Chains A and B, each alone.
Chain A
Amino acid sequence: MRIYLFGYASDDFLARVVVTPNERTVAQLAGQLVAWVLAPERGGLLTVRNERGDLLDLNSTIAAAGLGNGDIFTVERG
């Protein structure tokens, strides 16, 4: 199912809307967000957290990680 989420990359300045199928993985979601930010070329490990600050499993699907329409997630790049 296609859902919309609000993603914030910690080295960016803005929370952005990400529309994505929730069957994709959390890693793919993070990659999609990072592609929009000001320095998409910068590499490094990605860490993804939900609004409560819980660490999300990068290999889990978005749905299984508990993210649904209108949720916030944060991506940190190591």
Chain B
Amino acid sequence: MVLRRDDWLDLARKVNWTPRYVDEREMFPEELSGHPWLAHDAWRDWNEAYRTTYREYVANQREKDAAVLGVRSALDKPHLFDGLDPGWVQLVKFHNGAVALVEYAGAIAELRMARFGRDSAWRMMSSLGALDEIRHTQIPLLIGHDMLAYDGNFDWTHKAFHTNQWVILAARHLFDDMFLAADAIDSAIQLNFVFETGFTNLQFMAMAAMADRAHHHLFEKTLASIQTDEARHAQIGHPVMRTLLENGSRERAQYLVDKMWWRCWRLFLALTGTAMEYLTPLDARTRSFKEFMNEWVTEQFIKNLAEFDLEKPWFWDLFVEELDYAHHSFQLGLYTYRTTLWFDVAMPDDAEREWLNAKYPDWEATYGPLWDRLERSWETSGESNTVSYGLPALCNLCQLPALFVRPGRNTACTLEMDGRRYLFCSEPCRWIFSQDSARFADHKSVVDRIVVGEAPGKLTDLHAWMGLEAPVETGKDLRRGLNPWRLDPIPTA
């Protein structure tokens, strides 16, 4: 007689072999399994809330893949772009480039936990998580490949993370820190507890809702399908957090949470905040980025902190202040440095400005004059006067331009260490760097590389260094297209 699922699952999840030929510490070295190193007794009660068998996993994933591929087949390749807003197409290009191969790196993180996680139930969940992340890479690659016939820049779905493009360098710096250069415990807290539980709802649920209203049903289906996987393997973080707190590691847990909250916020304001409010068509905007952040991210995160009696990160007030401004400031950076991007960038039109001001009452007063100047510059001197030629100051931690919080209030700061002066966009970035300076000190930002001659200072050469073939691949103004002046070499600084 075949046993029923519930009769065998608990036993199968907890096959923790007793090692006889090696010591437990050799089998799970601290460098990879993580700090604090605890004997297995401490991990024995590691339990995920929602349990899955491999059989269930395969059946569910097959159904989910069939749903996505069904929409793809129904749409028929020649009609992939039909009815899509041009801004939305750029959003998808931005998203695909910035996300697809991160998922593949995520598979490595899950596999590390599948080997070095300290309980078999954790290792089982991580094995499924690794399969998830491979799927999350393959689907965008497939759909990005479909789109190549209509827009060659969709090759950045695969290409982006193989380049030195500055947004991608910032993303790589974050994800190296979050999980590629992290042990199993740190990965579980930073990737599963903070990033996946806290932030990916925004990218995959909120943006899926927008995709539906933007009539991009294939993208909506893809995002929603990915999120169901994320929700399952994000569970890994909670029991790891519980074990840390029960074993005297509250301070380290709080540090990891604070650090990764700030780093994820930086990436999401740059990627999701700008895309939601400057590339999404107005009638597809269900809520503002700030409203989404408050509902989907902040509230959920605070509940998670309360569950473990953890404190809000010490920089919370700055984070709250930035919610009203930071992504709007970043949009100005994207727009004026658009020739260094692989997607087009929008200058907000009158209707969008009205919407932005309704959602952010300070928007017009803060950003209106700057966009007005760009409009006037285009009218009087042409497009070439609406792009920046000088180098932006880049943060030595997040690698993003030092343009926060908003015009008139710049939070950039420095740190002198071992004869080198480091620049940071904000106090939290400086704090994160200082907490583990040996980890970050040798890294050079794009500007550092230019200054020491490791990257070209001439903009036309810098495009090539970043993997961008100018002018065909380089980003342009979304609504005004490629101005003929771009066919000439871009003036250098």
Contact = CB atoms under 8 A, between A and B. Distances in A.
B338 to A, nearest CB: 14
Contacts of A69: 421
B361 to A, nearest CB: 19
Interface string B65-76: 000000000000
Interface stretch (B345-353, B402-410, B477-485): B402-410
B447 interface: yes
A72 B413 contact: yes
Interface string A56-70: 000000000000111
Interface string B412-452: 11100000111100000000000000000000000100010
A13 B391 contact: no
Given A13-B406, A15-B392, A70-B423, A8 B414 contact: no
A14 B402 CA distance: 6
Contact of B413 (A10, A39, A51): A51
- Most chain A CB within a 10 A radius of its CB, from B389, B390, B401, B420: B390
B407 A13 contact: yes
A6 B373 contact: no
Given A6-B393, A72-B413, A13 B388 contact: no
Given A38-B370, A71-B414, A72-B412, A15 B401 contact: yes
A16 B413 contact: no
Given A6-B402, A70-B414, A72-B414, A14 B332 contact: yes
Interface of chain B, main secondary structure: mixed
Nearest to A70: B421
Contacts of A14: 329, 332-333, 336, 388, 392-393, 401-403
A16 B390 contact: yes
B410 A8 contact: yes
Nearest to B406: A13
B468 interface: no
Interface residues of B, number: 30
A25 to B, nearest CB: 20
B388 A36 contact: yes
B392 A16 contact: yes
A55 interface: no
A77 B148 CA distance: 48
B374 interface: yes
A46 B141 CA distance: 52
A75 B373 CA distance: 19
B366 to A, nearest CB: 9
A51 B413 CA distance: 7
B89 to A, nearest CB: 27
B373 A15 contact: no
21 contacts: A6-B414, A8-B410, A11-B407, A11-B408, A13-B333, A13-B406, A14-B333, A14-B388, A14-B392, A14-B393, A15-B393, A15-B401, A15-B410, A16-B388, A17-B390, A17-B391, A36-B390, A38-B373, A38-B374, A68-B421, A70-B414
Interface of B: 329, 332-333, 336, 370, 373-374, 377, 388-393, 401-403, 406-408, 410, 412-414, 420-423, 447, 451
The 6 closest A-B pairs by CB, nearest first: A70-B421, A15-B393, A17-B391, A15-B402, A6-B393, A14-B403
